[in-house]
C-alpha cells in the first residue's frame, strides 16, 4: 500500500490551544482521512513542543516544573483532539525518551558530517518570540535605538555565549537547486518565492545550542549545552517514526508538512538543510497556510482575545467548525473569523444546499415509494449531465486535495449539490407522481439518491460524523464499515429494492 505521511507543527506548551492550532490540525486531519479513503497507508502526526526558555520561564512564573506545565497543556490537547474528530496516528512529545534519542542521533549525524562547530556569538534575543536578531537587523527595522524586537516590539536582551553552530551557509546552493528542481516543494507559490529571495539574500550559520537554560535535550558529549529549539523541534517528524532505528524509517519522507506561515523559514530552509547535511531524504512538500484574525483583530496573549476551541464547540458542532474553517478562506490566504460569517455559511451551504437536497430527496422517496429505490428507467440528457458532473467532481476534488486547496474542493462539491437541487426543480418529481409517470419518477429518485451518496462520500473527510449520519440514512440496513473511494465511489452501487431511511434533518436552519 502506498504510504502517505502528513504532519502538523508541534505546538508550544506555554499557551492553551486556540483557533490557529485547531485550524492546522483539522486541515491535516482532512488530508489524512481523504488519503485513507483513497487507499493510502496513512501516518498522521501531531504533538507538542515542550522545550525552551519560554516554557521554562512560564513554569517558573507559576512555581512549577517545566514538565508539570507541559503535562497540563498536553492534557488539554489530548482531550481536545477527539472532540474535533482528529484521527492522528501518533502524538509526539519532545520531552519523551524516543524523541530525545532521535534528536541526539540527528546531532551526531550532523557532527560527523562536519556540519557543526563551536564558537561564540553576540546577539539580541527576543524571549517571547524565541528569535535572535543581529544588530544590523535591528537597525534596518529601526528598532536599534529602543532595542526592540522588530516583530513584537518588546524589549530584546543582549546575549553573548558559547554556542555550537550549524553550517547552514554551506547548503545554500544545494537548497536552491533542490527548490528549483522541485517546483512542488514549497506551497503556495507566493511562499516559495519568499523563501527563494530569503535564501538568495544569503544564509548565515545557525546557532544551535544554549547554555542559558537547561530545559531541553543535552548536547551529546557536552552537558553544559542544550540543543536549541529548532533542531530539537524539527526532528520530531523523524523521531516519531522511530529514527534513528532505522535512519530512514517507514513513511519517511513526509508527503506534506502543514504549517502556518509564521514558521515557514524553519521548515523550508533550516529543516531541508539539516536533512541534506545528515544525508537523509527531504520532505516532498511543505505548505504554509495563512493567518486567522478574530472579529477583525489579531489574536494575542496580552489582549487575551484568542478564540478558544471550547467557545466554538459550545456554539457549533465539530463538523460545522471543520467545514467552516476550510471553506471560508482559501487555504494559504489570511482570513478573519467571525461568528456572523459562520452562521451565514452554515445556513446557505449546509442547511439550504446539502441539508435541503437530502431532506427533499429522501422525503419524496418515502412519500412516493415507501423509501424503496426502483430500477432507473431510460437515461435522459439531464440524468447523463448529473452523473458526468458527479464524476468530474470526484476527479477535481482529488486534484484539489493534492495542492491542498480545501476551499476549491468544497466549492466543487457544492456545485454538484446545487446541480442536484436544480435537477429536482427541472424534473419536478411531484408532477411526475401526479401524472403517474412511474418510470421517470423511479429514475429521478434513483439519480438523486446516488448523487447524495457520492456527495456525502466526498464530504466525509471534512465532516466525518455528519456525513456518516447522512450515509446511514441513504444506506439504511447496509453496514457502513470502513468507506473508501475505491469500494463505494462508483455510480450505481445502490440497487433496485434497496430501502433508504426516512430523512432526519442534519443541518437545521439557524435563525
Q: Which residues bind ligand ME8 (CB under 6 A)?
A: 9-12, 20-21, 23-24, 49, 233-234, 236, 259-260, 262-263, 291-292, 299
Q: Which is nearer to ligand ME8, 45 or 433 (CB)?
A: 45
Give least dist CB 294 to ligand ME8, A: 8
Q: Which is nearer to ligand ME8, 26 or 115 (CB)?
A: 26
Give least dist CB 146 to ligand ME8, A: 25
Which DSSP string do the residues of 329-360 spell out, in sequence order?
S-BTB-EEE-HHHHHHHIIIIIIIIIIHHHHH
How far is CA 425 from each of CA 164, 263, 421, rounded to the nearest angstrom? 70, 49, 7
Alpha-carbon span 23 to 321, nearest angstrom = 9
Question: Cis omega (within 30 of 0) on the bond before 404?
Answer: yes
The b-or-e profile of 433-445 (16+ CB within 10 A means b, else e) is: beeeeeebbbbbb
How many other CB atoms sit within 10 Å of the CB of residue 340?
Answer: 8
Classify strands 222-227 and 209-210 as parallel, antiparallel or unpaired: antiparallel
Give least dist CB 206 to ligand ME8, A: 15
Q: Which is nearer to ligand ME8, 126 or 386 (CB)?
A: 126
Q: Which is nearer to ligand ME8, 9 or 503 (CB)?
A: 9
Alpha-carbon span 418 to 412, nearest angstrom = 10
How far is CA 118 from each of CA 76, 114, 206, 231, 345, rounded to the nearest angstrom? 39, 11, 11, 16, 56
* Cell, residue 372: 424503496
* Order of strands, sheet of 116-126, starting from the edge strand that comes earlier in the sequence: 131-133, 116-126, 157-166, 206-207
Q: Which is nearer to ligand ME8, 144 or 291 (CB)?
A: 291
Give least dist CB 212 to ligand ME8, A: 19
DSSP state of 482: S
Q: Which is nearer to ligand ME8, 94 or 394 (CB)?
A: 94
Give least dist CB 74 to ligand ME8, A: 13
* Cell, residue 252: 519517511
The b-or-e profile of 247-286 (16+ CB within 10 A means b, else e) is: eebebbbbbbbbbbbebbbbbbbbbbbbbbbbebebbebb
* Alpha helix segments (H runs only) across 213-350: 229-234, 236-239, 264-265, 271-277, 309-315, 318-328, 339-345
Q: Which is nearer to ligand ME8, 9 or 489 (CB)?
A: 9
Q: Which is nearer to ligand ME8, 9 or 150 (CB)?
A: 9
Q: Which is nearer to ligand ME8, 21 or 36 (CB)?
A: 21
Q: Which is nearer to ligand ME8, 298 or 434 (CB)?
A: 298
* Cell, residue 117: 562547530
Q: Which is nearer to ligand ME8, 263 or 326 (CB)?
A: 263
Q: Which is nearer to ligand ME8, 242 or 377 (CB)?
A: 242
Give least dist CB 385 to ligand ME8, A: 39
Q: Which is nearer to ligand ME8, 163 or 239 (CB)?
A: 239
Give least dist CB 72 to ligand ME8, A: 15
**How buried is 54 (Cβ within 10 angstroms: 0-12 exposed, 13-18 middle, 19+ buried)?**
buried
User: Among candidates 164, 213, 186, which has minimal Cα distance to 50?
Assistant: 213
Give least dist CB 154 to ligand ME8, A: 16
Give least dist CB 307 to ligand ME8, A: 9
Kindly give, in sequence order, each residue whose CB lies less than 8 Å from that of residue 361, ignoring residues fewer than 6 positions away: 420, 424, 445, 448, 449, 452, 503
Give least dist CB 69 to ligand ME8, A: 14
Give least dist CB 6 to ligand ME8, A: 13
Alpha-carbon span 59 to 32, nearest angstrom = 34
Nearest residue (beta carbon) to ligand ME8: 20
Give least dist CB 17 to ligand ME8, A: 9
Contact yes or no for 320/350 (Cβ under 8 A): yes
Give least dist CB 416 to ligand ME8, A: 29
Which DSSP string do the residues of 160-224 spell out, in sequence order?
EEEEEEE-GGGGHHHHHHHHHH-TTSEESHHHHHHHHHHHHT----EE-EESS--SSPEETTEEE
Amino acid at each position: 500500500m502506498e504510504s502517505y505521511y502528513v504532519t502538523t507543527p508541534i505546538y508550544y506548551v506555554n499557551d492553551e490551544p486556540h483557533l490557529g492550532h485547531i485550524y492546522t490540525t483539522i486541515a491535516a486531519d482532512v488530508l489524512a482521512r481523504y488519503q485513507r479513503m483513497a487507499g493510502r497507508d496513512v501516518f498522521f502526526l501531531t504533538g507538542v513542543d515542550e522545550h525552551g526558555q519560554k516554557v521554562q520561564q512560564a513554569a517558573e512564573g507559576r512555581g512549577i516544573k517545566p514538565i508539570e506545565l507541559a503535562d497540563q497543556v498536553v492534557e488539554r490537547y489530548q482531550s481536545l483532539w477527539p472532540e474535533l474528530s482528529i484521527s492522528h496516528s501518533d502524538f509526539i512529545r519532545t520531552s519523551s525518551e524516543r524523541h530525545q534519542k532521535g534528536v541526539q542521533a540527528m546531532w551526531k549525524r550532523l557532527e560527523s558530517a562536519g556540519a557543526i562547530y563551536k564558537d561564540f556569538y553576540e546577539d539580541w534575543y527576543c524571549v517571547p518570540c524565541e528569535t535572535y536578531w543581529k544588530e544590523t537587523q535591528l537597525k534596518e527595522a529601526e528598532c536599534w535605538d529602543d532595542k526592540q524586537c522588530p516583530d513584537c516590539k518588546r524589549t530584546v536582551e543582549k546575549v553573548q555565549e558559547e554556542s555550537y553552530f550549524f553550517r547552514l551557509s554551506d547548503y545554500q546552493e544545494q537548497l536552491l537547486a533542490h527548490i528549483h528542481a522541485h517546483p512542488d516543494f514549497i506551497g503556495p507559490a507566493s511562499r516559495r518565492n519568499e523563501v527563494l529571495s530569503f535564501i538568495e539574500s544569503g544564509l548565515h550559520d545557525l546557532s544551535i545550542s544554549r547554555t542559558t537554560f537547561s530545559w531541553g535535550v543535552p548536547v551529546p558529549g557536552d552537558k553544559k549545552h542544550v540543543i536549541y529549539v529548532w533542531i530539537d523541534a524539527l526532528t520530531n517528524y523523524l523521531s516519531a517514526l522511530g529514527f534513528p532505528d532505522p535512519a530512514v524509517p517507514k513513511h519517511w519522507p513526509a508527503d506534506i508538512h502543514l504549517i502556518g506561515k509564521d514558521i515557514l523559514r524553519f521548515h523550508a530552509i533550516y529543516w531541508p538543510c539539516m536533512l541534506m547535511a545528515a544525508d537523509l531524504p527531504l520532505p516532498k512538500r511543505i505548505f504554509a497556510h495563512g493567518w486567522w484574525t478574530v472579529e477583525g483583530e489579531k489574536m494575542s496573549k496580552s489582549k487575551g482575545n484568542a478564540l478558544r476551541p471550547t467557545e466554538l464547540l459550545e456554539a457549533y458542532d465539530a463538523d460545522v467548525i471543520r467545514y467552516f474553517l476550510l471553506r471560508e478562506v482559501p487555504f494559504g490566504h489570511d482570513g478573519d473569523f467571525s461568528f456572523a460569517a459562520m452562521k451565514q455559511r452554515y445556513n446557505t451551504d449546509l442547511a439550504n444546499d446539502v441539508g435541503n437536497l437530502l431532506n427533499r430527496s429522501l422525503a419524496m422517496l418515502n412519500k412516493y415509494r415507501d423509501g424503496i429505490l426502483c430500477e432507473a428507467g431510460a437515461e435522459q440528457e439531464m440524468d447523463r449531465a448529473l452523473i458526468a458532473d458527479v464524476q468530474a467532481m470526484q476527479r477535481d476534488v482529488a486534484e484539489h486535495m493534492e495542492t491542498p486547496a480545501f476551499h476549491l474542493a468544497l466549492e466543487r462539491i457544492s456545485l454538484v449539490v446545487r446541480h442536484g437541487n436544480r435537477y429536482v426543480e427541472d424534473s419536478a418529481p411531484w408532477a411526475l407522481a401526479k401524472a403517474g409517470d412511474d418510470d421517470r419518477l423511479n429514475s429521478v429518485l434513483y439519480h438523486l439518491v446516488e448523487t447524495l451518496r457520492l456527495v456525502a462520500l466526498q464530504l466525509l473527510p471534512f465532516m466525518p460524523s455528519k456525513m456518516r449520519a447522512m450515509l446511514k440514512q441513504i444506506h439504511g440496513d447496509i453496514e457502513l464499515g470502513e468507506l473508501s473511494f475505491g469500494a463505494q465511489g462508483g455510480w450505481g452501487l445502490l440497487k433496485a429494492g434497496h430501502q433508504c431511511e426516512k430523512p432526519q434533518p442534519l443541518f437545521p436552519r439557524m435563525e
